[in-house]
């Protein structure tokens, strides 16, 4: 029973024990406050906590979807400790923990932290879902094979995802000349916001395989809506555009897991954490549908 003399529990969506115990939850939120390879401005280590705090202020009825995703049960794990050995060791730790949660039958939501955390989460999912594809939201190409002596730098995130699964990307508007050539030569499906608008969401969905892992670098959004990122880029996507694409994906494909990364709460207004929390909640609803 909830005792209204006390604040609700601190977990994603502020759920009572009956709806947030590990055993009773279909969904597990894994906070990963890791930001060791970022080059511009650090601060994404505070992202997971800010998203979880902001989630206390959400309505648990998603009025856009008309469903109550919390009814699936959402368990929030303790924050994953950073491995200080190397980014590669950290990604291995994330892959191991996400893999354990998947093997326990959970739907896993990874909260970054920098986008690098996606490399570990994607690998865990790809090992268990042959034929998996990745849908990435990002302003940056992130296709470098190595950067600053590491193959697991945040500038390499989508290259590491490409190692294990085909990647379709939306939101692109910043790339090195090498990355741009790589996209052309490999014929990768990378959409700038303008290309997405011209092609339409169904064109993106047609590029995806049946099982989709979604990785979200919040800098895909326009800085007018999401300024709390270390590397903002003008000309980004808007909430309804991202939401409409995700709804179209959920209609025709199976969303098997996702991450939301790169929130650096001190760089922007509180509305940024709110957007990240609501996006996380909507994706849970889209992936799992109505609970019975
Ligand atoms: Mn980015």
Residue 6 lies in a domain: no
Q: List, for residues 182-201, the tens digit of each pLDDT value.
A: 999 999 999 999 999 999 99
User: In the prediction, which pLDDT does 39 show?
Assistant: 64
Contacts of 251 (CB under 8 A, 6+ apart): none
Q: How confident is the model at residue 23 (pLDDT cuts 50, 70, 90)?
A: very high
Ligand 1 centroid to 184 CA: how many Å? 19
Inside any domain, residue 14: no
Parent domain of 68: 23-288
Tell me how far the alpha carbon of residue 292 lies from the centroid of ligand 1, in angstroms.
Answer: 37
Q: For 86-120, how does the pLDDT look when each residue is reduced to its tens digit (9 = 90+)? A: 889 999 999 999 999 999 999 999 999 999 999 99
- Indicate whether 8 belongs to any domain: no
The pLDDT of residue 282 is above 70: yes
Mean pLDDT of the chain: 95
Q: Is 187 within the bounds of a domain?
A: yes
> 16 CA distance to ligand 1 centroid (A)?
35
Residue 13 lies in a domain: no
Q: Separation of 37 CA from ligand 1 center, angstroms?
A: 13
pLDDT, tens digit, 9 for 90 and up, residues 36-66? 876 666 799 999 999 999 999 999 999 999 9
- Separation of 110 CA from ligand 1 center, angstroms? 16
- Determine the distance separating the centroid of ligand 1 and the alpha carbon of 230, expressed in angstroms: 9
CA–CA distance, 40 with 111 (Å, rounded to integer): 20
For residue 92, being part of any structural domain is answered with yes
Q: What is the pLDDT of residue 84?
A: 83
Distance (Å) from CA 118 to ligand 1 centroid = 12
The alpha carbon of 137 and the centre of ligand 1 are apart by a number of angstroms equal to 8
Q: Is position 119 within any domain?
A: yes
Ligand 1: centre distance to CA 153 (Å): 12
* 139 C-alpha to ligand 1 centroid (Å): 5
Residue 182 lies in a domain: yes
Inform me whether the pLDDT recorded for 148 exceeds 70: yes
The total number of structural domains in the chain stands at 1
Phi-psi region of 113 (alpha: psi -120 to 50; beta: other; left: phi over 0): left
160-177 confidence digits (pLDDT tens):
999 999 999 999 999 999
At residue 275, does pLDDT exceed 80? yes
Give me ligand 1 centre to Cα 3, in Å. Answer: 42
245: pLDDT strictly greater than 90: yes
More confident residue, 85 or 202: 202
pLDDT band at 74 (very low <50, low <70, confident <90, very high): very high
Give the distance (Å) from ligand 1 centre to CA of residue 121: 17
CA 77 – ligand 1 centroid, Å: 25
Average pLDDT over residues 25-43: 86
The answer to which of 38-42, 205-209, 219-223 has the lowest mean pLDDT is: 38-42
Average pLDDT on 115-133 reads 96
pLDDT value at 129 more than 60 = yes
Query: Domain containing 147 — which CATH number?
Result: 3.40.800.10
Interior/surface letters 88-105, b for 16+ CB within 10 angstroms, e for the rest: bebbbbbbebbbebbeee
Distance 172 CA to ligand 1 centre (A): 9
Alpha-carbon span 146 to 150, nearest angstrom? 5
Ligand 1 center–CA 32 separation, angstroms: 17
> Who's near 104: CB < 8 A, 6+ residues apart?
none
- Model pLDDT, residue 1: 55
| Number of CB atoms found within 10 A of residue 206's CB | 12
Q: Quote the ligand 1 centre to 106 CA distance (angstroms).
A: 27
């Amino acid at each position: 029973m909830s005792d209204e003399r006390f604040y609700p529990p601190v977990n994603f969506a502020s759920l009572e024990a009956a709806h947030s115990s590990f055993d009773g939850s279909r969904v597990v939120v894994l906070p990963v406050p890791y930001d060791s390879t970022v080059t511009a401005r650090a601060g994404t280590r505070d992202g997971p906590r800010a998203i979880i705090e902001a989630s206390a202020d959400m309505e648990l009825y998603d009025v856009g979807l008309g469903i109550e995703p919390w009814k699936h049960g959402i368990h929030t794990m303790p924050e994953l400790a950073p491995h200080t050995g190397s980014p590669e060791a950290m990604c291995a730790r994330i892959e191991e923990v996400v893999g354990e949660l998947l093997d326990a039958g959970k739907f896993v939501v990874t909260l970054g932290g920098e986008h690098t955390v996606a490399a570990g989460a994607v690998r865990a999912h790809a090992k268990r879902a042959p034929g998996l594809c990745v849908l990435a939201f990002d302003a940056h190409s992130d296709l470098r094979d190595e950067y600053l002596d590491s193959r697991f730098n945040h500038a390499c995130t989508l290259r590491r995802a490409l190692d294990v699964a085909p990647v379709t990307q939306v939101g692109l508007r910043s790339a090195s000349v090498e990355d741009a050539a790589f996209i052309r030569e490999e014929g990768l499906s990378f959409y700038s916001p303008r290309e997405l608008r011209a092609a339409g969401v169904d064109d993106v969905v047609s590029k995806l395989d049946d099982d989709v892992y979604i990785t979200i670098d919040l800098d895909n959004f326009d800085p007018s809506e999401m300024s709390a990122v270390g590397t903002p880029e003008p000309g980004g996507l808007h909430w309804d555009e991202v939401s409409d694409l995700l709804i179209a994906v959920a209609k025709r494909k199976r969303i098997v897991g996702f991450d939301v990364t790169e929130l650096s709460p001190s760089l922007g207004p509180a509305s940024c954490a709110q957007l990240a929390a609501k996006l996380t909640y909507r994706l849970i609803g889209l992936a799992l549908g109505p609970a019975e």
